[in-house]
Amino acid sequence: MSNAIAIKTNEVQSPKSKSKKFNLLDKLSNNASLILIAIMFIAGSVLSLCLDIPVKSVMESYSYDVLVILIVMELFTNLIAETGIMQLLAIKIAELSKGQKRLCLMMFGGMMFLISSCLNNITAVMIILPVVFVLLKTLEVDRKYVCVFFATILALSNTGGAASPVGDFPAIVIMTSGITSFISYLTHAFPLFALTSIVLITVWGMRVKREQDDGAVRSLAVSTLKSQYKNIEIRFDVLRLLAVVFVGMFLAWSFVPQDVIPPEVIAILGYAVAMVICSIKKIKVRQLMDLKSVLTIASFLFFAQVISQTGLLNLVAAYLQNNIHNPKLLVMAIMVITSLIAGVFSAGPAAAAMMPVIVEICKGPLGAQLDWIAVAYAAAICAGSSFFMWSATAGFILSGKVNSAEIEEEGGGKILWGVGQYLKYGFVNYTIQLSIALAVMGMIL
């Protein structure tokens, strides 16, 4: 017996020692984003020291305001989510669509766009997903539908985020850069991104075949979903007050000059009021946020700031301006470059890196079209962030959730949705978004 144990121990030890290297690689790949954050901060600091740029002067022009708004909007979204309204909306959509897959896709997509335009898109995705999973599992969807559905949701969370100045990180960067005002950005960007979203919804909606059944299974799926959420408490009393606070924030962002009350202060004030309301009304004030994404953005903002202080970005901007004399073509070229950078390096870093270039270009002959340049820049980042799974802010989080939901095909196979599955859909999303943005800019500028 003891021999048997000894042999088994040896067997276990042998692969263990071999797998040590793999474990290390696994750990490194699992913490890739944290390592990237550290590298960006260290590389930025080393670069600034080597080029004799004091880190203090880098930090003096650092965009703290962007981080503050980003964090506050995520926390504000948590408060809205606690009222239960998002689940209610999702269930109403399922009910209205009668479980028809095409309508589900179109309506959930529309909802995603509208929510992402006001609130943090990662939190919005997280809240809607459980309801969506319950519905999809009962509807018996296939692999193709899951890919189309979540590709649409991902793209629309990006277009929604870019449609308003507080929807997502790039839009916040633009708003705080001073090249456009809150209200100008909103009035210029919202129609463009709403149009883009309609096109995306239509294109993907048409890819879903109409059901050829008697509708009983779909009806069962919807009634099951309603049963699972029939007793949830929707706190309309709190929601009304939060809506008043949010409208107040929106108005303040729109009409109070940034140098009188900066946007981040408005965000903090609004959140503080909302928090007090929720505490009085006995709503959980969850102070949860995705610190990793905030740190990633913080690190890239720092690195971009260092690069900006070296004067390199001014040279890039000057080079582009000197070689492309037609202002319209110049904007379009920058849009393509920005979108590709956003695609490869994701939206946050691209926004941080390209912003100084945009600011420089705005000082040139395109100075009269600042609002549209801001929108063009946002549209390029938005298109790029729909290109690959890793480009979008919510990409990997969404993919992880979809895979852990264990949605099964009719045959019983588990449906996976990751980088590979998204690739061709991402390319279509990118092409559609960039084409529309380029066409609109070509007509307007």
Partner 1 sequence: MDMQKTAREIGLFETGINLSKVCNSADVIQKVGASMPLPDEDIANRVPQIAAWLHGFGKSKYMFLTPEIALIEEMTKLSNQEEVIIAIPCDLEGEAKERLRNNLPRGIEVTILEEPYFPQSFFPGNGLMVVCGYSAGGRPMVLPDTYRMVEHYSGFLGKKMFISYKELETAARYDGWLEVSQQRLSTKWRRES
Shortest distance (Å) from residue 221 CB to partner 1: 8
**Does 220 help bind partner 1 (rule: CB under 8 A)?**
yes
Shortest distance (Å) from residue 208 CB to partner 1: 19
Shortest distance (Å) from residue 139 CB to partner 1: 9
Q: What is the DSSP string of 332-379?
A: HHHHHHHHHHHHHH-HHHHHHHHHHHHHHHHTTGGGGGHHHHHHHHHH
Of residues 9 through 68, those in contact with partner 1 by CB under 8 A are none
Dihedral sign, CA of 286, 292, 297, 299? positive
3-class SS letters over 158-196 = HHHHHHCCCCCHHHHHHHHHCCCCHHHHHHHHHHHHHHH
* Interface stretch with partner 1, choices 105-113, 170-178, 212-220, 333-341 (CB under 8 A): 212-220
- C-alpha 59/C-alpha 41 separation (Å) is 12
The one among 29, 231, 322, 323 contacting partner 1 by CB under 8 A: 231
* Interface stretch with partner 1, choices 98-106, 164-172, 213-221, 339-347 (CB under 8 A): 213-221
**Does 228 help bind partner 1 (rule: CB under 8 A)?**
yes
* Interface stretch with partner 1, choices 228-236, 252-260, 346-354, 380-388 (CB under 8 A): 228-236
Give the residue with the Cβ less far from partner 1, 183 or 217: 217
Do 330 and 367 meet the contact criterion of CB atoms below 8 Å apart? no
* Interface stretch with partner 1, choices 133-141, 152-160, 292-300, 313-321 (CB under 8 A): 133-141
**Does 310 help bind partner 1 (rule: CB under 8 A)?**
no
**Does 279 help bind partner 1 (rule: CB under 8 A)?**
no
208's tokens: 């879903």
375's tokens: 């929108």
Shortest distance (Å) from residue 106 CB to partner 1: 23
- C-alpha 43/C-alpha 143 separation (Å) is 42
The one among 224, 279, 326, 435 contacting partner 1 by CB under 8 A: 224
What residues are paired with 414 via a beta bridge? 408
Q: Residue 414: what are its φ and ψ, rounded to 5°?
A: -75, 135
**Does 282 help bind partner 1 (rule: CB under 8 A)?**
no
- C-alpha 264/C-alpha 148 separation (Å) is 37
**Does 210 help bind partner 1 (rule: CB under 8 A)?**
no
**Does 288 help bind partner 1 (rule: CB under 8 A)?**
no
**Does 142 help bind partner 1 (rule: CB under 8 A)?**
no
What number of chain residues touch partner 1 (CB under 8 A)?
Answer: 23
* Interface stretch with partner 1, choices 128-136, 316-324, 331-339, 363-371 (CB under 8 A): 128-136
- C-alpha 384/C-alpha 158 separation (Å) is 10
Give the residue with the Cβ less far from partner 1, 169 or 417: 417
CA distances 177 to 36, 370, 378, 410, Å, are 25, 12, 13, 51
Do 73 and 80 meet the contact criterion of CB atoms below 8 Å apart? no
Q: What is the DSSP string of 284-330?
A: -------HHHHHHHHHHHHHHHHHHHHTHHHHHHHHHHHH--SHHHH
Give the residue with the Cβ less far from partner 1, 102 or 401: 401
Shortest distance (Å) from residue 224 CB to partner 1: 5
**Does 229 help bind partner 1 (rule: CB under 8 A)?**
yes
Give the residue with the Cβ less far from partner 1, 88 or 423: 88
What string marks each residue from 57 to 86 as x (binds partner 1 by CB under 8 A) or -? ---------------------------x--
- Those residues whose C-beta lies under 8 Å from the C-beta of residue 153, and which sit 6 or more positions away, are 108, 109, 112, 125, 398
**Does 217 help bind partner 1 (rule: CB under 8 A)?**
yes
The one among 33, 45, 100, 223 contacting partner 1 by CB under 8 A: 223
**Does 418 help bind partner 1 (rule: CB under 8 A)?**
no
**Does 234 help bind partner 1 (rule: CB under 8 A)?**
no
* Owner of token pair 């449906």: 415
- C-alpha 360/C-alpha 376 separation (Å) is 15
Residues that bind partner 1 in the complex, under the rule CB under 8 A: 84, 130, 133-134, 137-138, 140, 213-214, 216-217, 219-221, 223-224, 227-233
